[in-house]
Amino acid sequence: MINLETPKKHRVLVDQAHQVAMNMLRPISRKYDRAEHEYPKELDMLAAMIDGLSESGSSEGAGAAGVRREEGTDEGTVKNGANLASVLSIAEMCWGDTGLLLSMPRQGLGNSAIASVANEEQLERFAGTWAAMAITEPGTGSDSASISTTARLDGDEYVLNGEKIYVTSGDRADSVVVWATLDKSLGRAAIKSFLVRKGNPGMKVERLEHKLGIRASDTAAITFTDCRVPAEDLLGSPEIDVKQGFAGAMATFDNTRPLVAAMAVGCARASLDLTRDLLAQAGIEVDYDRPAQVQSAAAAKFLQMEADWEAAQLLTMQAAWMADNRKPNSLEASMAKAKAGRVGSDITLSCVELAGSIGYSETELLEKWSRDSKILDIFEGTQQIQLLIVARRLLGLTSAELR
């Protein structure tokens, strides 16, 4: 049975993540928001510390985790594992700074793709790499199944051709997990992931994007022109299974969507904590023992935001817990991403409004958090796409039947 409280075994990790967020990330948050594209060197020491914790086994969930569909769980047992630990620690880190969390070495979204799709030999061979994830293309928008980047087998290598945009950590990462199709005529079933190393001939970072938020994180556009990749670097099985369809790619999303939801939960929590303090300084106390309708408009709004935040947090924990216990979680992952993405954006912007001129100025970080949170409702599948997925799952309809 699921218990949506922070498990005792993860409390030390969560406390450590909060301390890092408060003492290491918050102090440099504004610095790297202003210095867009400048690498936060302070993260190197933090990454080394996380590597040490992961290698020692003393901090499960310190690194990127994956949803391994083929693995079972012991009958009758309940596991609070790496996926739950990851979302809890990520939420705390984003309480500090979302852009800096996305800049962490060896913790890219591509690492989660490797953890979810790669075979055992690849997991060992790619250990220690920092992998970005390249999905979005100029003409595909939110429909990941319609990607046009191609991968053609030539001897013992695949030849990649295409363009990817909005690749988080695309310039800084050691490698990029690239989604490409082996055969366009077979649709989504032919889409596979390839690990392409930095410096590979034919792979070129064309530009870095200037963004509304998460400015500490670099976001790149990358082209692939006759880029040769060893066949052994195709993640998972090279076989095209039209019955399984898009399952390999969805396994990645089942993992990364709760992580993005956790980022939104953490950023929203930061805004709520600061806004509560600012309201108190203005003489507005939020009374949890009285109905919202008999309190001030500001206090009533705050109570409503906290209720929305808690719903997002619980959905996120549920999706991660299900992954740890090898339960299908595609529906719950999309529900968590949809709820947390919308709530995160609503809360951070509402907190700016409640704080008035202080919220709109750079005196506090509220305006930055409102900018940072917007992307969390967009990448890894927009709000609209998540609601479409939820509807398909609930109604039992295919993507062709409900578009």
Provide the 3-class DSSP secondary structure of residue 399: coil
CA–CA gap between residue 259 and residue 107 (Å, rounded) = 11
Neighbours of 331 (CB within 10 A): 16
Look up 60 and say whether it is catalytic. no
3-state secondary structure of 223: strand
Catalytic residue (choose from 71, 362, 380, 401): 380
**In the structure encoding, which two tokens stand for residue 139, read together?**
């003409």
CA distance 354 to 348: 10
Residue in this structure with the two tokens 């047992």, named with its chain if needed: 77
Task: Transcribe 50-113 into DSSP letters.
Answer: HHHHHHHTSSTTSS-----TT----TT-----HHHHHHHHHHHHHHH-HHHHHT-TT--HHHHH
Six-digit token pair at 86?
């990851």
Alpha carbon distance 364, 370 (integer Å): 12
Whole-angstrom distance, CA of residue 32 vs CA of residue 45: 17
Taking the C-alpha atoms of residue 176 and residue 131, their distance in angstroms, rounded to an integer, is 5
Q: Which two tokens stand for residue 133?
A: 């994830």
Distance CA 324, CA 307 (A): 26
- Where do we find the tokens 């809890």? 88
Catalytic center residues: 380
